[in-house]
Structure 1
Amino acid sequence: MPDSPLSDSPYEVLGVTADADAAALRVAYRRALRHAHPDTGGDAERFHAVQRAWELVGTPEARAAFDRGNGPGMAEPEHAAWAPSAPRPRRDSRPLARTYGHPGGWSRQRYLDLIREWAGRGVTLDDPYDPALVRSAPRDIRHVLADALAEEETARSLATLGIAYTVWHDLATDAAGAGLPPKLDHLVLGPTGLIAIQSEDWGGPVAFKRGELIGEALAGERPIRELAARAKSVTRPARVKPTALVVVVPDEDAAVPLEVGGSVRGAAAVLVRRSRLASAIREGIPGAPVLGGADAMEVRSRLQTALRFA
């Protein structure tokens, strides 16, 4: 799996610019390795990051491959993973969940608008997903692309829930705060409840504290409060309430597979790793009420007539 658009590039890990010459790169590597070495009081995780950075850009061949977005050890080039992809062929014939909407569509379009605006008027971007261009963009722009990728990954996971579940993506809401997307990423209905989901990649770890998510990468955001407001705005016209509020993040950004952080207006608030999402929904979100078959059908009928897409 390629790195997130928010991940530090090897150049950032080593503390040099992307146009540093080979000699400067080598000096930076030795300095970073010395400072990060556990035997000299450094951090083991940082030490391994420095070593990995050198593997990616330490030789002319590796550096050229990385700059093209196809570094060693990547399952696929970054560009191929960051750009929109064709539907993947299915490997089994099990029924999929009913799905509506375009996951990641709003965020993709927002990214394209922002990257073109940042590049400047009159500048033609032959490839808005070029790895060098993405890495050079401001963090807020890279965050939008990271969110689009996260939403698409979540959608692939939710589709595997099976025919008992209905999933809506990119639902319009008027409850978004300043600078936040005017949408709810995903809404899932099935026998284990009505679950509002936000797909996120903040580029750093998050955890619950007093019912809200905290983390250095959040920059003042209050994800649970904001998700609750979006979910209420989306479901209120249908006269239904979500049973769970779920924020899903990359596996490395959550300390445990699933963490319950209390409840908001009766809906369980949960942080879950991406790889755990589908199984958590099938098993039932801890603390969230389940829906009987007749209740689920009634809720689905109401939602179908009330929901709007972003």
Structure 2
Amino acid sequence: MFDSPLSASAYDVLAVDPAADDDELRKAYRLRLRQTHPDTGGDAAVFVQVQRAWELVGTPEARAAYDRGHGFGDAAVPDFSGWKAPAARTDTRPRARSFGHPGGWRRERYLTLIREWAGRGVELADPYDPALVRTAPHDVRRLLADALAEEATARVVADLGMGYTVWHDVSAPGRRDGPDAKLDHIVLGPSGLYAVLSEDFGGPVRVRRGELIGDGVDGSPIADLVARARTVARAAGVRFSGAVVVLPDDDLGQAIEELGKVRGLPVAVVSRSALATVLRRGMTGARDIGGNELFDVRTRLQRTVRFV
């Protein structure tokens, strides 16, 4: 919450100008509490957001730190750490075997579009400046949000260990897709072969009739994920055990929600913190892969996978 390029700022949630003085900020907070309280017909999720926003800007010290980190105010010193590519790791423990560049296609596309939008193609001092990102068009911010989501998933999968293999940004265009259609991740391990979609819609998401719904959800993410998994499966001559949609922890009401089968493929929607659990234990109805079959599936994918 408030950490995604798509999230409303604390000031947006409190419906107050970022330049408001402390008294105006406090009045806005009290008004929003009354407006959103569940006992008076408000939305419980929004009520929680209002309280969280006040925690971030409700004291002079907290507000100053928030403004510096999010590009508000004349003396803002943005904290870019969350919106940069991850630093090189120094941990030497065995990691999952990894191919491709998680989030790479969307980061490149983001950088192209943010420069076109903000500087007409000229070099920007910092394309990840929070003040710049906050004012960019939604489609541009969405690219950065999804790139960050893919990178976060890649870190989780890497920590599963050397028994797993993962391919990132895998080309998977179908008949109705453009050439850039892709699977964010393919994960192979003892629990099965999984197609994984990493998303950040910038707010709460629910499942209805086997599909994601929410203010930020466009199209049919689950149906598209399953269709693209089938495209890769046909090309490689393999069978996926399941499909997994990974979302930020704050955006789901429950950590793991198994939806049953969609077009014959078991599907689950999980929070990022629960992803490792699902990939280690498998899903209901998913088929384990072991021994020589695991080696065969890995070989087939290595020969077939192409990256966007």
TM over 0.5: yes
* Contact 1:213 1:222 (C-alpha < 8 Å) held by counterparts: yes
* Contact 1:67 1:132 (C-alpha < 8 Å) held by counterparts: no
Deviation at 1:283, TM superposition (A): 0.8
Deviation at 1:143, TM superposition (A): 1.6
Residue 253 and residue 129 in structure 1: after superposition, are their counterparts in 2 closer, same or farther (change >3 A)? same
Name 1:187's counterpart in structure 2: 186
SS of aligned partner of 2:80:
helix
1:126-177: CA deviation from partner (whole Å, max 9, x where unpaired)? 1111111111222222221111111111001101222221111111122396
1:229-286: CA deviation from partner (whole Å, max 9, x where unpaired)? 2222223221112111110111122222211112134321111111111121111122
| Structure 1 residues without counterparts, runs of 5 or longer | 72-76
Residue 177 and residue 156 in structure 1: after superposition, are their counterparts in 2 closer, same or farther (change >3 A)? farther
1:100-151: CA deviation from partner (whole Å, max 9, x where unpaired)? 1111111111111221222141664211111111112222222211111111
Structure-1-length-normalised TM-score? 0.86
* Contact 2:70 2:131 (C-alpha < 8 Å) held by counterparts: no
| Separation (CA, whole Å) in 2 of partners of 1:180 and 1:146 | 21
| Separation (CA, whole Å) in 2 of partners of 1:69 and 1:3 | 10
Residue 31 and residue 123 in structure 1: after superposition, are their counterparts in 2 closer, same or farther (change >3 A)? farther
Q: Which range moves more in the overlay, 207-216 or 138-147?
A: 207-216
Query: How large is the Cα RMSD of the aligned pairs?
Result: 2.8
Residue 177 and residue 12 in structure 1: after superposition, are their counterparts in 2 closer, same or farther (change >3 A)? farther
Structure-2-length-normalised TM-score? 0.86
* Contact 1:176 1:182 (C-alpha < 8 Å) held by counterparts: no
* Contact 2:96 2:157 (C-alpha < 8 Å) held by counterparts: yes
Residue 49 and residue 78 in structure 1: after superposition, are their counterparts in 2 closer, same or farther (change >3 A)? farther
Name 2:5's counterpart in structure 1: 5
Deviation at 1:195, TM superposition (A): 0.4
1:17-59: CA deviation from partner (whole Å, max 9, x where unpaired)? 4455666545533432443456765556544533443443455
| Separation (CA, whole Å) in 1 of partners of 2:212 and 2:47 | 28
* Contact 2:2 2:10 (C-alpha < 8 Å) held by counterparts: no
| Residue of structure 2 aligned with 1:302, choices 294, 297, 300 | 300
* Contact 2:146 2:200 (C-alpha < 8 Å) held by counterparts: yes
- Match status 1:147 vs 2:146: yes
- Match status 1:35 vs 2:40: no
| Separation (CA, whole Å) in 1 of partners of 2:241 and 2:172 | 18
Residue 303 and residue 44 in structure 1: after superposition, are their counterparts in 2 closer, same or farther (change >3 A)? closer
Name 1:15's counterpart in structure 2: 15
* Contact 2:26 2:58 (C-alpha < 8 Å) held by counterparts: yes
SS of aligned partner of 2:201:
coil
SS of aligned partner of 1:218:
coil
Name 1:85's counterpart in structure 2: 86
- The total of aligned residue pairs comes to 302
Q: Read off the aligned partner of 2:87 and give its amino acid letter.
A: A
SS of aligned partner of 2:69:
coil
| Separation (CA, whole Å) in 2 of partners of 1:39 and 1:162 | 48
| Separation (CA, whole Å) in 2 of partners of 1:180 and 1:21 | 50
* Counterparts of residues 59-138 of structure 1 (less than 5 Å): 62-69=62-69, 78-90=79-91, 94-121=93-120, 124-138=123-137
* Contact 2:2 2:9 (C-alpha < 8 Å) held by counterparts: no
| Separation (CA, whole Å) in 2 of partners of 1:222 and 1:47 | 28
Name 1:268's counterpart in structure 2: 266
| Structure 2 residues without counterparts, runs of 5 or longer | 72-77
Residue 285 and residue 38 in structure 1: after superposition, are their counterparts in 2 closer, same or farther (change >3 A)? closer
| Separation (CA, whole Å) in 1 of partners of 2:259 and 2:173 | 25
Q: Read off the aligned partner of 2:124 and give its amino acid letter.
A: L
